[in-house]
Amino acid sequence: MNDSEQLENGPDLARWLGFGGLIPFVFCATMAHSGNQQLAAYSLVGIANFGAVILSFVGAVHWGLAMQGERHPYWYAWSITPALLGWAAITLLGIRLGILALVPAFTLAWSVDRQAFLRDLLPVWHMRLRNILTVGAVLALILATFAPVIE
């Protein structure tokens, strides 16, 4: 990969790891529709917890931005916000509502990343990857939320 492709597409490893991060989302959303009560229940807990963990990861990017140069201290405050939103969603809400609450949290985190990108704080490849990964995570969360209740 030449330098211009690297700038546009980003590091291969980042793309592989990013897309690999969708596997737990897709797996859990699919298993939530399995028809097996125990597997579906574990899958709902799994996708909720993984969503909260990934929100923490997404926010951590902004902690890194805050450490670079003369960044405004609000980057530090924002960097922990996705983790707090994820924690609140899975701790304070029921499982389905908690999973559904992760959707606007991911959307908000994406919008803050977009603002950072528009200020040239994030590279083009990061935002392209972030767009795809956010759509994938959000769709999986919505799919899991609406899995049938098995009695």
| Interatomic CA distance for residues 88 and 52, integer angstroms | 9
Quickly state the pLDDT bin for 114 (edges 50, 70, 90): very high
Confidence of residue 6 (pLDDT cuts 50, 70, 90): low
C-alpha dist (Å) from residue 130 to 32, 84, 92, 147: 25, 20, 27, 26
Q: What is the pLDDT of residue 76?
A: 87
d(CA 20, CA 137): 12
Q: Which pLDDT belongs to residue 77?
A: 87
Residue 94, by phi and psi: left (phi above 0), alpha (psi -120 to 50) or beta?
beta
In this prediction the pTM is: 0.86
